[in-house]
């Protein structure tokens, strides 16, 4: 038997086109229906990560309110909605989570990642941007974050972050 590196190999059985229980893994991102030949793709989803610094060169980090990685640290951000640009996603997520308005966006780096929710593993491309904020006075923790902190990048403890992309981004920030 050929072992394919599809993380959802045992999860998707029913064809979304014909409804028969004849779906099998085709490759790392697709499934093929043995009855109607429909190919079902789980393509990579895009997500934004906002790197926000204050005047003291401290970076803004959040604490996750929900699983995955509840109670662990994260950067602000989230998934791009259908029909949305990565820029608009960053602006929306930072407003939702922290009530802050982003004034500028500068691409920093991109990291491939995975995200598992209720046993289904999604492949993600995280896009990190340095996001400018002119006014921090409206800041408050809301939506899916429980707390926020400003901290010098040199003092960040990677092990307190729940997901993998922030750990890679912290390394990149220290190289700068």
Question: Under the rule (CB under 5 A), what is the footprint of Zn ion?
Answer: 15, 17-18, 33, 35-36, 38
CB of 26 to Zn ion, least distance (A): 13
CB of 9 to Zn ion, least distance (A): 18
Compare residues 16 and 132 and give the one whose CB is closer to Zn ion: 16
Spatial separation of the C-alpha atoms in residues 102 and 143, rounded to whole Å: 17
Phi, psi values for residue 136, rounded to 5°: -90, -5
Compare residues 34 and 71 and give the one whose CB is closer to Zn ion: 34
Q: Which two tokens stand for residue 171?
A: 């390394």
Compare residues 4 and 18 and give the one whose CB is closer to Zn ion: 18
CB of 37 to Zn ion, least distance (A): 7
Is 9 in contact with 2 (CB distance < 8 Å)?
A: no
Is 158 in contact with 167 (CB distance < 8 Å)?
A: yes
CB of 45 to Zn ion, least distance (A): 24
Compare residues 23 and 61 and give the one whose CB is closer to Zn ion: 23
Spatial separation of the C-alpha atoms in residues 60 and 47, rounded to whole Å: 18
């Amino acid at each position: 038997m050929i072992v394919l590196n599809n993380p959802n190999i045992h999860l998707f059985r029913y064809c979304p086109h014909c409804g028969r229980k004849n779906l099998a893994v085709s490759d790392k991102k697709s499934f093929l229906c043995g009855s109607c030949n429909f190919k079902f793709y789980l393509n990579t989803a895009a997500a934004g990560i906002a790197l926000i610094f204050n005047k003291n060169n401290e970076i803004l980090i959040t604490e996750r309110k929900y699983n995955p990685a509840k109670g662990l640290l994260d950067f602000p951000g989230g998934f791009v909605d259908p029909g949305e640009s990565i820029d608009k996603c960053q602006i929306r997520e930072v407003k939702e989570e922290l009530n802050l308005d982003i004034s500028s966006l500068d691409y920093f780096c991109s990291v491939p990642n995975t995200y598992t929710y209720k046993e289904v593993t999604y492949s993600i491309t995280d896009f990190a941007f340095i996001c400018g904020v002119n006014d921090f006075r409206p800041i408050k923790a809301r939506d899916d974050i429980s707390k926020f902190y400003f901290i010098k990048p040199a003092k960040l403890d990677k092990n307190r972050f729940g997901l993998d992309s922030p750990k890679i981004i912290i390394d990149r920030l220290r190289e700068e």
